[in-house]
Amino acid sequence: MNTGKNIDLNEDAIIQIRNVYKSFGTIEAVNNVSLDVHRGEVVVIIGPSGSGKSTLLRCINHLENIDKGSVVVDGIPLSSKANINKVRAEVGMVFQQFNLFPHLSVLENVMISQRVVRKRSFAEAERIALDLLEKVGIPDKAANYPGQLSGGQQQRVAIARALAMQPKIMLFDEPTSALDPEMIKEVLDVMLDLAKEGMTMAVVSHEMGFVRAAADRIVFMDHGWVIEETTPYDLFENPKEERTRQFLSKILH
């Protein structure tokens, strides 16, 4: 699929995952996975539940401590505490359960990291936050608390909160899985806008509409292994692996 974007494949990849292993007890969640994501690329990771896709995503900003292998983000290896905090400031993350801060208003949710981590002035942080709330379509909810918002609105605030750090990369961990069906579109629309603007994105999702419209590359995972890495066109038209075909037949009805 041609999104009209210029992705320079010769440049060093902004996310470089090399031979990463991660296990929880006896369960091997991520098995020898290597993956590159280039600047401006949208990579969607799919796979059955328990296939390690979320764990892989969480390895990128070190929410999971990897057992073996290496992760380099924007030239910074995730090796020391200082580096991890540096990488996290450049990588935005959106969670399945939103994880908004319930004791802070919507505006404060979007401001807090700007004030604490970026050390911006109150006025500047507020201006950026209001712009972002406008962008995700809920400027009128700035003074509300997260508990007063619908799921779709909460997830859009969560996206605005992550964007407030002006990240180079956005990670989406099943952003629409906890939403009622009629709210999925409002969140996907915001994600599509981001993709169009050229944001580098790694997305764990089974929204095939989003995959068709925005994905540059699909990674299919099962039991912690990357089974297939392909383009959306090839995924739907001629998946190479039998396991991929089985999975697709289940989710495409």
**Residues 61-120 close enough to bind another protein by CB under 8 A:** 61, 63, 85, 88-89, 91-93, 95, 97, 99-103, 112-113, 116-117
Min dist CB 173 to another protein, Å, is 10
Taking a C-beta distance cutoff of 8 angstroms, is the pair 175, 93 a contact? no
Would you call 200 exposed, middle or buried from its count of C-beta atoms within 10 A (0-12, 13-18, 19+)? Answer: buried
Say whether 226 sits in a helix, a strand or coil: strand
* Number of residues binding to another protein, judged by CB under 8 A: 26
Site for another protein in 5-64 (CB under 8 A): 61, 63
Q: Name which of 95 and 220 has its Cβ closer to another protein.
A: 95
**Residues of span 182-221 touching another protein by CB under 8 A:** none
Grouping H, G, I as helix, E, B as strand and the rest as coil, residue 220 is strand
Shortest distance, position 97 Cβ to another protein, whole Å = 6
Q: Nearest approach, Cβ of 69 to another protein (angstroms)?
A: 21
- Whichever of 173 and 222 has its CB closer to another protein, that residue is 173
What is the rounded CA–CA span in Å between residue 107 and residue 109? 5
Closer to another protein at the Cβ: 129 or 211? Answer: 129
Considering only the stretches 42-50, 143-151, 186-194, 204-212, report the one whose residues sit in contact with another protein under the rule CB under 8 A: 143-151
How many residues can be counted in the chain? Answer: 253
Contact 72, 78 (CB under 8 A): yes
Confirm or reject binding of residue 162 to another protein (CB under 8 A). Answer: yes
At 52, give phi and psi (nearest 5°): 95, 10
Count of beta carbons in the 10 Å neighbourhood of residue 135:
17
Give the binding range for another protein (CB under 8 A) out of 46-54, 145-153, 186-194, 242-250: 145-153
Q: Cα–Cα distance between 52 and 74 in angstroms, integer?
A: 23
CB of 38: closest distance to another protein in angstroms? 22
Q: Please state at what angle helix 122-135 crosses helix 106-116, rounded to 10 degrees.
A: 130
Which stretches of the chain bind another protein, using CB under 8 A? 61, 63, 85, 88-89, 91-93, 95, 97, 99-103, 112-113, 116-117, 145, 147-148, 158, 161-162, 165
